Structure 1
Amino acid sequence: MRKSITKLFLAALSLLCISGCAGRDVREPEQEIIIGVVTKSRNSEYWMSVNAGMEKAAKERNVKTVILSPDTETDKKIQKKMIQDLLKMQVDALAVSPIDSYDNQDYYAQALEMGIPVYAYDTPIADVEVPYIGIDNETVGYELARVLADKMEHRGNIAIIAGSREQTSHEKRIAGFEKYMEQEPDIHIEVEKSGYSNLRVSEQEMEEIQANYPNLDGIMTTSAVTALGLAEATRGSGIAIATLDDQEDAIRAVEEGHITVLGAQSGYEIGYETVKYIVNDKKGIKQDREKILDTQILTRENVEDYQNLKK
């Protein structure tokens, strides 16, 4: 009788142990992180590259991205509507490349109230403090000026044709460029035009600029898409062109001598590092408030080496 009771007791104890052990091993499945992303546009190689980098990083880290894109970098109202749509989805994080760096307080306050962290990538947000992932635009502008001045043999006249001054990326590129040019007494900035965000300058527009400023020796523009239009419109004129963005058509233009100096900021890397930064932040990993990425300054002399490194 005593042996039977002992066997029953041990059996019951064994079942409790199995149940308890199983309970300790069972984990609630981790909730999928959804990152809402708004780009500036959808119609350029650069932004397609940004999207590809984000999708690659998201796949590697088992998170989801919802990427919305206005048609062009002038669609400020459309971009704001897309941000609101993502907030309604109650995404876990919001990444924005702002069309207007100075008009973000409304949705930021809403996101803050909802517990959704906001991040800026490619272009800093200026009116609220959020983490930024991208290049140091002012430093790159400075370096482009230095190389362009050397190519112009430190004399001549320059036009600056920039993107929207509402975007701090373009603003800082110009600031860095002008800061260096203060050291060049024989180089003169003849004219500065803005509002060409991701837009090609037409041959007619360039003809008007050259008619008003016939002695131009160089042009600084803050977008490779704009630069490609300028390169076509000025072909054979001897005007040196400096610009930014790592896209194949712009790199090819450097190889062919149509663009003189290119700041190659990798859209793919910016997209990839943005998702990586957000995931690390969600995990509580300590990071700097700014993730500054490298930019290569390319000329005809070193562009082939750069292409080989990318392969």
Structure 2
Amino acid sequence: MRTMAVVFLALLVGTAVILLPLQDAQEEMSRPAYTVGVVLKAMDSEHWLAVRSSMQKAAEENHIRLIVMTPENEAAYGEQDQIIEDLLQEGIDALIVSPVNIHHTAQWVEEAQQRGIPLLTIDEKLPGIPYVGSDNYRVGQMAAEEMAKRLPAGTSVGILAGSANQDAHMKRTAGFRDYLREHTDLHLVAVAAEDTKYRQAALESADMLRQHPDIRGLFVTSAVMTLGVIDTTEGNQPPIHIIGVDTQSDALAALRLGRIDAMISQDGHESGKMGIDLIVKELQGEGIDGDHFISNEVITKGDANAYQMKED
């Protein structure tokens, strides 16, 4: 009996010796390969929820620990700067940011570069930093081309843009303006830049139309602002033709009802996944310099149902 006990004990010890390296290997495999900090503009729209969701899925597939944070709103650049500073102090391996104010980025860009932390921007371009998102100048051109199909030569139009502190809105405005000047006989008579909020857009569009009652078309550079504008302009006679950007579900619903003429799509899922895929390449030693554009398309009333099904 004693001999059997000794043999049994030896087997147990031998098994433990075998299992311990296996357990260590499993624990090693379960550890994230990298930690990536992500600081988005906000989390108050379907677009940013889609960006975060697709990032989280792509990070899980790539075995990455993801830290996603946002400031209180898109005007809170000081809070966003502090969030980024804190993340840089935490020893992250890479950083993805969608700046709320492109004029207040130099400090954390420089710090990331000094620390050797790869940096990628999403939705907002910064000079010399790899970018993923829409070609926003082209988005503006697409909107202008669509507007020109709906209005006769000589018609007055306006632009209601988002914050002048964000490159995306400025590029959309420039693309729309340049296309009108170079390819159409439409007259751009008013441009207003406001925060990307529903109420401000409603008030600003009402003021613009009071000052320029001849306006028959408005290009609005975000979906949230577009919804504010249509609540102000609906019922106007003659009607105001409205083209917006982004394709969240409430904007698509308004499009189906004919309250919006067209929307230029911007797929948050595509942006988020591409952002993670690119930063993984950078961390693995592949260069990701330059711009990486997602696809954009013109969505009209007849396309809205099909596009919604594709998004779902």
TM-score (norm 1): 0.85
**Structure-2 change in CA distance of 1:198 and 1:272 (3 Å):** farther
Structure 1 residue aligned with 2:137: 138
1:93 alignment counterpart: 94
What one-letter code is carried by the residue in structure 2 that aligns with 1:99? V
What displacement does 1:106 show? 1.1
Secondary structure of the residue that 2:301 maps to in structure 1? Answer: coil
The equivalent of 1:68 in structure 2 is 69
Provide the C-alpha distance between the structure 2 equivalents of 1:80 and 1:222, rounded to a whole number of angstroms.
25
Q: Aligned to 1:183, what secondary structure does the other structure show?
A: helix
Structure 2 gaps of 5+ residues are 1-20
Counterparts of 1:200 and 1:94 in 2: how far apart (Å)? 33
Tell me by how many angstroms 1:39 deviates: 0.7
Given residue 152 of structure 2, which amino acid in structure 1 is its aligned partner? E
Q: Residue 108 of structure 1: CA displacement?
A: 1.4
Aligned partner of 1:14 in structure 2 is none
Q: Greater shift after overlay, 87-96 or 101-110?
A: 101-110
Map of 2:219 onto structure 1: 220
- Aligned AA (2:109): Y
| Alpha-carbon distance in 2 for matches of 1:99, 1:37 | 13
Query: Does residue 252 of structure 1 match 2:253?
Result: yes
2:218 is the counterpart of 1:201: no
Mark the CA change 1:185 to 1:309 in structure 2 (over 3 Å): closer, same or farther.
closer
- Identify which range, 295-304 or 285-294, moves more after superposition: 285-294
* Aligned CA distance change for structure 1 residues 180 and 205 (closer, same or farther; 3 Å): closer
Q: Which shows bigger deviation, 251-260 or 198-207?
A: 198-207
Distance (whole Å) between structure 2 residues aligned to residue 161 and residue 44 of structure 1: 19
Pairwise CA distance, 1:163: 1.0
Q: What's the counterpart of residue 230 of structure 1?
A: 229
Letter matched to residue 303 of structure 2: N
Query: How do residues 53-64 of structure 1 correspond to structure 2 at under 5 angstroms?
Result: 53-64=54-65
Contact 2:163 2:169 in 1 (8 A): yes
Q: How do 1:277-292 and structure 2 match up within 5 A?
A: 277-287=278-288, 289-292=290-293
- How far residue 203 of structure 1 moved from its aligned partner, in angstroms, is 4.4
Answer yes or no: is the 8 Å Cα contact 1:38–1:96 preserved in 2: yes
* Residues in 2 aligned to 1:256 and 1:155: alpha-carbon distance in whole angstroms: 28
Q: Which AA in structure 2 matches 1:302?
A: D
**2:163 & 2:144 partners in 1: Cα distance?**
19
Mapped to 1, the partners of 2:265 and 2:116 lie a distance apart of 35
Secondary structure in 1 aligned to 2:67? strand
Task: Please state how far the C-alpha of 1:184 moved relative to its aligned partner.
Answer: 5.3
Cα distance in 2 between the residues matched to 1:109 and 1:202: 35
Alpha-carbon contact 2:129-2:289 (below 8 Å) kept: no
The corresponding residue for 2:119 is 118
Aligned to 2:162: 163
- Structure 1 letter corresponding to 2:265: A
Within 2, Cα distance between the matches of 1:243 and 1:145?
Answer: 11
Q: Check whether the contact 1:246–1:267 (CA below 8 A) recurs between aligned residues.
A: no
State the SS of the aligned residue for 1:201: helix
Percent pairwise identity: 31
Letter in 2 for 1:253: A
* d(CA) in 2 for partners of 1:305, 1:206: 30
**TM-score after normalising by structure 2:** 0.85
Q: For structure 1, list consecutive stretches of 5 or more residues without a partner in the other structure.
A: 1-21
Residue-pair matches, total: 288
Cα distance in 1 for residues equivalent to 2:198 and 2:84: 23
Cα distance in 1 between the residues matched to 2:220 and 2:35: 36
- Cα deviation for residue 81 of structure 1 reads 0.8
CA RMSD of aligned residues (A): 2.3
Q: Give 1:198 deviation, angstroms.
A: 4.2
Determine helix, strand or coil for the equivalent of 1:242.
Answer: strand
What is the match of residue 176 of structure 2? Answer: 177
Amino acid at match of 1:104: T
**Are the aligned partners of 1:154 and 1:184 in contact in 2 as well (CA < 8 Å)?**
no
Kindly provide the amino acid, as one letter, of the partner of residue 235 in structure 2: G
Q: Is the Cα–Cα contact under 8 Å of residues 77 and 104 in structure 2 kept in the other structure?
A: no
Q: Any residues of structure 2 matched to 1:288-303 within 5 Å, and which?
A: 289-303=290-304
Number of the residue aligned with 2:14: none
SS in 1 for 2:96: strand
Q: Provide the C-alpha distance between the structure 2 equivalents of 1:244 and 1:81, rounded to a whole number of angstroms.
A: 30
CA distance in 2, matches of 1:226, 1:141: 15
**CA distance in 2 between partners of 1:185 and 1:151 (Å):** 12
The residue correspondences of 1:5-84 to structure 2 (distance < 5 A) are: 32-84=33-85
